[in-house]
């Protein structure tokens, strides 16, 4: 069990040089530090130090067979942590790094066995965030870093989320503001041909195919009951405290179903709090939300379109945490089209709901 410890927050790490100095010393001494990336906040440790990496699992309550992604700030760091770089991986590095793309490569000899969960491969990425890049460069270390939250919870997109989940469990949080992407990186397995997407993210299948040709999607992402290829893919992730259901299909029918389900839930348990997450912008939204207000339902609404899918992804985990703050016991979430970045948004929504899906 993790011992209680005092947690310090560096309020604006982008401007506080002393925060970097403290973080570097902690990481080099085998400690863990939370820091921002463009995707979500990460909980980092020296990827070559067994004891340091174990502290990540301890602080998060993370299963030991769930491998970690290693973050680098310089291409020269690859030499010691991977044994081979396929041509498709080099092309992806040149095109998308630094950025929200993790590449699965054959592991090298220096990494901790706990980073890879004893697998022959490792996930590597170069984050596109000034705080992360400066921190990694100054440590001179490859930094293993999963999301900086309690395992299974919605990932943190601001320092406050990290504090809520990990205060008194880690020594330092670098506050670099709200993250820009809001969802974890795309994970592309480059140890197979053609490469396979193990986790969708902002770098979409279409974007990858334009650069390297054929790219497939892991069957575990497409079929709910298909065995996942990667151990970490089998666990529940991103889940709010309340029970969540995702509604997919025609937007108008979804609204009708949401209204009926809210009425049914409140009839069965009048004292429970019900929440609704709406991701489309429809005629009559104001009247619909007034109906939800009259029922006492907590609602969050955001417009939808190609640009606004980005907003849904950026704020999804924040919205789920807002429902937690309001003690919402049941959440009904409107799905988004599974195209482009929408594939990543729906992947997270479905996993947050434990694949409780209603198709209308």
State how far the Cα of 317 lies from the Cα of 41, in Å rounded to an integer.
12
Q: Which CATH class is domain 243-359?
A: alpha beta
Instruction: Calculate the CA 68 to chain-centre distance.
Output: 13
pLDDT, tens digit, for every residue of 210-228? 999 999 999 877 655 444 4
Phi (first) and psi of residue 266, to 5 degrees: -75, -25
Size of the chain in residues: 360
| pLDDT of res. 238 | 85
Domain ranges of the chain: 8-232, 243-359
Give the Cβ contact number of residue 256 at 10 Å: 12
Domain at 8-232, CATH homologous superfamily: DHBP synthase (3.90.870.10)
Ranges in the chain, pLDDT < 70: 1-4, 222-236, 303-307
| pLDDT of res. 219 | 85
| pLDDT of res. 351 | 92
**In terms of pTM, does the model score above 0.85?**
yes
pLDDT, tens digit, for every residue of 42-91? 999 999 999 999 999 999 999 888 899 999 999 999 999 999 999 999 99
Pair 42, 35: CB distance under 8 Å: yes
pLDDT, tens digit, for every residue of 81-123? 999 999 999 999 999 999 999 999 999 999 999 999 989 999 9
């Amino acid at each position: 069990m993790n011992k209680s410890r005092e947690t310090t927050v560096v309020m604006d790490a982008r401007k506080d040089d002393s925060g970097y100095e403290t973080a570097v010393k902690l990481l080099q001494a085998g400690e863990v530090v939370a820091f921002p990336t463009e995707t979500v906040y990460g909980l980092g440790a020296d990827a070559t130090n067994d004891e340091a990496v174990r502290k990540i699992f301890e602080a998060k309550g993370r299963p030991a067979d769930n491998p970690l992604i290693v973050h680098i700030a310089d291409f020269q760091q690859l030499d010691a942590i991977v044994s081979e770089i396929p041509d498709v991986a080099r092309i992806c590095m040149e095109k998308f790094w630094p950025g929200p793309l993790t590449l699965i490569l054959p592991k090298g000899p220096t990494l901790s066995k706990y980073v890879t969960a004893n697998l022959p491969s490792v996930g590597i990425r170069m984050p596109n965030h000034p705080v992360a890049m400066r921190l990694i460069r100054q440590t001179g270390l490859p930094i293993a870093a999963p999301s900086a939250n309690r395992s299974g919870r919605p990932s943190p997109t601001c320092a406050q989320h990290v504090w809520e989940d990990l205060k008194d469990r880690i020594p330092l949080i670098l506050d670099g503001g709200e993250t820009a992407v809001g969802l974890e990186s795309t994970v592309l397995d480059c140890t197979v041909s053609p490469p396979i997407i193990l986790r969708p993210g902002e770098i979409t299948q279409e974007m990858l195919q334009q650069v390297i040709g054929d790219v497939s999607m892991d069957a575990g992402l497409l079929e709910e009951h298909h065995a996942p290829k990667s151990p970490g893919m089998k666990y529940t992730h991103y889940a709010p405290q309340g029970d969540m259901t995702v509604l997919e299909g025609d937007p108008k029918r979804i609204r009708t179903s949401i209204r009926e389900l809210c009425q049914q839930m409140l009839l069965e348990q009048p004292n429970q709090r019900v929440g609704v997450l709406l991701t489309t912008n429809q005629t009559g939204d104001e009247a619909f939300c007034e109906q939800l207000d009259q029922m006492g339902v907590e609602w969050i609404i955001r417009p939808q379109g190609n640009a606004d899918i980005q907003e849904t992804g950026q704020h999804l985990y924040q919205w789920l945490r807002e429902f937690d703050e309001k003690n919402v016991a049941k959440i009904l979430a409107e799905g988004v089209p599974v195209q482009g970045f929408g594939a990543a948004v729906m992947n997270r929504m479905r996993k947050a709901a434990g694949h409780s899906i209603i198709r209308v």
